[in-house]
Chains A and B, each alone.
Chain A
Amino acid sequence: GEDVEQSLFLSVREGDSSVINCTYTDSSSTYLYWYKQEPGAGLQLLTYIFSNMDMKQDQRLTVLLNKKDKHLSLRIADTQTGDSAIYFCAERLKNSGYSTLTFGKGTMLLVSP
């Protein structure tokens, strides 16, 4: 089955690191994605990781994938107030033809000065 779970809310102080967690249930996932949504806007692709990788780093963003536990995390270093947004985890399944992405419900990140 397909299900992506995220915690709903995270609050951090500016300059701290933020870690947003996601769990997925389908072991057939190939790509896992992180999207960012600012208020009243669409979703912006932040980064993605292929299922045969354990880690991917892109500037302040680090994605960690634990396939055994089906756990994905997004770490934002030196979090800024501009990082306040909703973050969505999404998975794409393997060998399902032209599949769609399945999204979690999103984690609202609030960064205080």
Chain B
Amino acid sequence: DGGITQSPKYLFRKEGQNVTLSCEQNLNHDAMYWYRQDPGQGLRLIYYSQIVNDFQKGDIAEGYSVSREKKESFPLTVTSAQKNPTAFYLCASSIWGYDGYTFGSGTRLTVV
């Protein structure tokens, strides 16, 4: 079955450490997205990528970095520069055009 997989589901890190969240899709979608979800804040766009080797900053890109070396993969690194990294992170993908997104099941990151 085609889908989008995020791993791990739960992640704990010490403050000051970088951490990378994985996102893989086998839907042959061109575009991939990273969102951050905080209680009462809805979804806020961190980064998105339309094609391989290209990506754009979203509304809250500071303290995050991404890469898109393969169509199937769009990992997100939460760096030590991100002041409030504890959140629920959602990855999504879509085909070109006007379809809605397919979301992964999310990674809950807790920084202590």
Contact = CB atoms under 8 A, between A and B. Distances in A.
Interface string A39-53: 011111100101000
Nearest to B91: A42
Interface in A92-112: 92, 98, 100-101, 103-106
B21 interface: no
A88 B106 contact: no
A40 B58 contact: no
Query: Which label, helix, strand, loop or mixed, suits the secondary structure of the B interface?
Result: strand
A112 to B, nearest CB: 22
Q: How large is the interface on A (under 10, 10 to 19, 20 to 34, 35 or more residues)?
A: 20 to 34
B96 A103 contact: no
Contacts of B100: 31, 33, 35, 45, 48, 90, 101
A28 interface: no
Contacts of A41: 105-106
Contacts of A48: 100
Contacts of B103: 35, 42-44
Interface string B95-112: 010101111111010000
Q: Considering residues B48, B92, B100, which has the most beta carbons from chain A within 10 angstroms of its beta carbon?
A: B100
Contact of A98 (B6, B50, B90): B50
B58 A43 contact: no
A88 B104 CA distance: 16
Contacts of A44: 103
Interface of B: 6, 31, 33, 35, 40-43, 45, 48, 50, 58, 90, 92, 96, 98, 100-106, 108
Interface of A: 8, 30-31, 33, 35, 40-45, 48, 50, 88, 90, 92, 98, 100-101, 103-106
5 contacts: A40-B106, A43-B103, A50-B98, A98-B50, A100-B33
The 4 closest A-B pairs by CB, nearest first: A105-B42, A42-B103, A45-B100, A43-B103
